[in-house]
Structure 1
Amino acid sequence: MPSRRDFMATIAPGALVALGAGPVRAATTGKPAFRAGSGRADIVFPSGRFPIDGFTGQHDPLAVRIVLLDDGTTRLAIVVVDLTSISGELITAIRTIVTDVAGIAAPDIIVSASHTFSAPHIFAAGQAPPGTDMKANAAAWQAVIQAARLATTRALASLQPARLGAGQGTSRVSVNRDVRTPYGWWLGADDAGDTDPTVSVLRIDRLDGRLVTADLAGAAMRHVEARYGPDATALFMVGAAGDQAPYLQASRPVVNADGRAARIDIHEAGFAIVDLLGARLGAQIVDVAERIRAVDTPTLDIRRESIQVASQAFSPRTDRATGPVTTFSYDAGPPVALPVVLVRIGDLALVGVQPELVAGLGARIRAHSPFAHTMVATMVDGGAKYMPDARSYDRHTYEARSSPFARGAGEAACARIVALLKQALPAAR
């Protein structure tokens, strides 16, 4: 069984993609047929290579999942890998595979981690911390590469005329994790805190009525795939969940009477929580998917932009947030570039950024977007720690102290992203 050291620490519902089936008719507009394909392949770690990064075995499979979309003019790919995070080198390797197999240019490929904390970290050459078993690390890297190639091959083979539609639902499986203690703000569960229960669903129907789907991490993905049958493929993209945690947690943070931060961990008993929350979220995704009406000729467009935001001094190698504090000094840094990817998929806009936005910032983008449906995804094409709202810096929360971005950067980024949605992408018809 795997180590439960940070089990379910950061999973929260946010931007989800789900693909479903149903009887449909072929397009009659004369426009090139919209096509879609999906593929899934398990990441198979050699049994003799455990332990890997502290994990001694495997409870259920990790996977690489991919969706290919093609409107006759633009072809793009969305890849989700069941890992905590993905290095730039691994992203490049995955993109190279997708380009080689499916002929899609690297800028038109989005790669994201499902952000499960119950998976090993896989390091690029020269980046592994001291003590890393490099043979096990190399085997894990190769396992991801092999799964990516197989998933892409399957997705390309399944590429066919399709229809597409989007919808939203609500699933209350997350809670704000910033709580006030006598020693300052720290991690926990605050029922009164900001949270965003929105579940965004993108459904794609194959014209033969057979089904392809996509959704949350682990249990929720399996729930949706089981609902739609053996041809279903499910993927999950992390939403604006930087200040969110599962409503129920197997490994939960606490603050002791002396102000020191600690954890209470129920270990393998926590799999019951995974099944419970996965079934709840998966059921909501299925419910939303069943109510979506797909269209024949959705338009695809992908734009990559860069915006300038204020930074602050921060080193990911130094843990600056080890417990609650009542005072903290933030050191301003120079403006930095924030990559943003904007994808139009019919009347849905997908906004992808590297940093983990807090829930309020994601909700702000959706509220002001000109699109009928807007999906905000984080940890897209790499990670950049947290991007909190201004209030988090006043509270000295874990996210604010662990952010490379200065106070106000989140609000400024939201405003610029909304402006880009109005300017850079063609208006939804």
Structure 2
Amino acid sequence: MRVGHGSADLPVPDGTPMGGYLDRPGPSTGLLDPLSVEAVTWFDGERRFALATADVICVNEDLAHRVRSESQSSDRSLGCELWLAATHTHSGPETGCVPGGGPTPGPWLDRLSEAVGTAVRRAIDDERPCDGEARHGELHGVGADRSRPSAPAVVPLTVIAVRERGDDDGRIAGVLAVLPVHPTVLPAAGRLVSADLAGAVRRALRARLGPGVWAVVATGAAGDISTRHTRRGQDAAELDRLAGMVADRCVELLREPPDRAWSAGSRIALAARRLLLDPAGPGTGTGSADAAELARGLRAAEESGDPIAVRMARSRMEGVRARSARTDPIAVHVHAARIGELSVAGLPGEPFLAVAGSITSAGPVMVLGYVNGYPGYLPTAEAYGRAEYEVLVSQVAPGSAEALASAARQLLEDM
């Protein structure tokens, strides 16, 4: 197996509309840290697979279709199967991120397509014989269920180490970390462009792993997980603190015995399935709550002076404001890959963490969210009994997340 890594800058001009928050006070005014597209490619001698991550809020179907078509086109000299995943930064450009999916704004359709092609081409040029190792562990103190203040701040962390073959010391060429946490440390009022937590973790990992070692951070099934109850501030210093905790935990895991992910002679298998998700009916998931009741809850929270209660009450109101009444099914694609012994599931939109936990296989498993489409939030069926933001704004009917997980499991079983 040959593996490569490539990167491309994603410049954001001042004055660009920013994605992620309804109450953003205005367009971008500067740069806190640069955005990029990161790509990793695997080549088994016959088939090439590319995973690209982009520092944007979401990847819509039109963008996914365009970059996947271009990656398979002979005149682009790529010749690979491509997945494009958003890191889901809320401090990047608005790329058409609306519940149920929408069109990608023209400039970003072009800019992202070009950057993805550049990153993948550089990764192909960088390919060399490498073995892969998978490690899984718990990460404490960084992410937690954002709708439940008392929930434990523990999430699973997956670390894939890529080691150069033939190096007597088995030098690490790069690391791919899957972090199932909303990268939302910076505030809604901020107007500086940033990759937020995903970018900060990349920088922290590179600093700890040393020169010449690449680091890619993908966002996992983070629909209900964020830093809301773990962050101590919403600035660059807090980004560095939380990112340091993630990077230190990754380094700890790299010292533990691994599961083999792939080795010499390993093969790549790929599959996908299209599903039609039923739209959420009127009142789905709202319980007895309506707009007036949610407004009263917000006033009560403000009177209490509890900042967490206020943020949660406001998010429920935002859910009501953002929700639209769809009546047509939402088409999505579930993707699966087998890279040697490593099973990879690529889910669209924002699946809840429990969805990833239900996707299992005989060997190591890596589950990614925000891949090749944006149907919006994908709560578990159980979550629809609560009037929380993710459910209020969701465009899909209860059971949709479970249908995606079932499809991913079946695709992996059939490989």
The TM-score range, normalised by the shorter chain, is: 0.7 to 0.9
Contact 1:164 1:298 in 2 (8 A): no
- 1:272 to 1:92, Cα distance in 2 relative to 1, 3 A: same
Whether 1:212 and 2:170 are equivalent positions in the alignment is no
Residues 140-289 of structure 1 aligned to structure 2 (within 5 Å): 143-172=111-140, 173-179=142-148, 190-192=149-151, 197-207=155-165, 208=167, 209=171, 211-215=173-177, 217-246=198-227, 247-249=229-231, 270-289=235-254
Shift of 1:239: 1.2
Contact 1:196 1:363 in 2 (8 A): no
Q: Secondary structure at the match of 1:279?
A: helix
Contact 1:205 1:212 in 2 (8 A): yes
Whether 1:312 and 2:280 are equivalent positions in the alignment is yes
- Distance in 2, Cα, partners of 1:298 & 1:128: 38
Taking structure 2 as the reference length, the TM-score comes to 0.72
Q: Name the aligned partner's letter for residue 219 of structure 1.
A: A
- 1:163 to 1:394, Cα distance in 2 relative to 1, 3 A: same
- Distance in 1, Cα, partners of 2:47 & 2:410: 23
Query: What is aligned with 2:50?
Result: 77
Q: Secondary structure at the match of 1:64?
A: strand
Residues 3-22 of structure 1 aligned to structure 2 (within 5 Å): none
- Distance in 1, Cα, partners of 2:161 & 2:408: 24
Query: What is aligned with 2:268?
Result: 300
Contact 1:356 1:378 in 2 (8 A): yes
- Sequence identity percentage: 25
**Any idea what the Cα deviations from partners look like across 1:175-217, whole Å, max 9, x if unmatched?**
11114xxxxxxxxxx2326x76111122211224362233351
Contact 2:338 2:412 in 1 (8 A): no
Residues 36-115 of structure 1 aligned to structure 2 (within 5 Å): 36-45=3-12, 49-53=13-17, 54-99=27-72, 100-105=75-80, 108-115=81-88
Q: Name the aligned partner's letter for residue 224 of structure 2.
A: D
Query: What is aligned with 1:339?
Result: 333
- Distance in 1, Cα, partners of 2:41 & 2:278: 35
- 1:311 to 1:69, Cα distance in 2 relative to 1, 3 A: same
Structure with the largest fraction of helix: 2
Shift of 1:313: 4.2
- 1:334 to 1:90, Cα distance in 2 relative to 1, 3 A: closer
Q: Secondary structure at the match of 1:218?
A: helix
Contact 1:210 1:231 in 2 (8 A): no
Structure 1: runs of 5+ lacking an equivalent: 1-33, 180-189, 251-265, 315-319
Contact 1:200 1:375 in 2 (8 A): yes
Contact 2:231 2:242 in 1 (8 A): no
Shift of 1:86: 2.4
- Distance in 1, Cα, partners of 2:113 & 2:409: 35
**Any idea what the Cα deviations from partners look like across 1:74-98, whole Å, max 9, x if unmatched?**
2111010111112333334433554
Query: What is aligned with 1:349?
Result: 343
Shift of 1:271: 1.3
- Distance in 1, Cα, partners of 2:353 & 2:156: 10
- Distance in 1, Cα, partners of 2:324 & 2:76: 46
- 1:421 to 1:177, Cα distance in 2 relative to 1, 3 A: same
- Distance in 2, Cα, partners of 1:336 & 1:148: 26
Q: Secondary structure at the match of 2:36?
A: strand
- Over the aligned positions, Cα root-mean-square deviation in angstroms equals 3.2
- 1:61 to 1:406, Cα distance in 2 relative to 1, 3 A: same
Q: How many residues align?
A: 340
Q: Name the aligned partner's letter for residue 67 of structure 1.
A: V
Contact 1:249 1:270 in 2 (8 A): no
Shift of 1:69: 0.3
Q: Name the aligned partner's letter for residue 120 of structure 2.
A: T
Q: Which moved more, 1:351-360 or 1:402-411?
A: 402-411
- Distance in 1, Cα, partners of 2:34 & 2:118: 15
Residues 115-130 of structure 1 aligned to structure 2 (within 5 Å): 115-122=88-95
**Any idea what the Cα deviations from partners look like across 1:18-50, whole Å, max 9, x if unmatched?**
xxxxxxxxxxxxxxxx111111122234xxx41
- Distance in 1, Cα, partners of 2:274 & 2:111: 33
- 1:382 to 1:236, Cα distance in 2 relative to 1, 3 A: farther
- 1:87 to 1:409, Cα distance in 2 relative to 1, 3 A: closer
- Distance in 2, Cα, partners of 1:275 & 1:345: 33
- Distance in 1, Cα, partners of 2:270 & 2:252: 29
Q: Name the aligned partner's letter for residue 78 of structure 1.
A: L
Q: Name the aligned partner's letter for residue 198 of structure 1.
A: P
Q: Secondary structure at the match of 2:372?
A: coil
Q: Secondary structure at the match of 2:7?
A: strand
Taking structure 1 as the reference length, the TM-score comes to 0.70
Shift of 1:123: 5.3
- Distance in 2, Cα, partners of 1:413 & 1:93: 23
- 1:288 to 1:41, Cα distance in 2 relative to 1, 3 A: same
Whether 1:413 and 2:380 are equivalent positions in the alignment is no
- Distance in 1, Cα, partners of 2:29 & 2:328: 43
Q: Name the aligned partner's letter for residue 127 of structure 2.
A: L
Shift of 1:307: 3.9
- Distance in 1, Cα, partners of 2:61 & 2:402: 26
Q: Name the aligned partner's letter for residue 58 of structure 1.
A: L
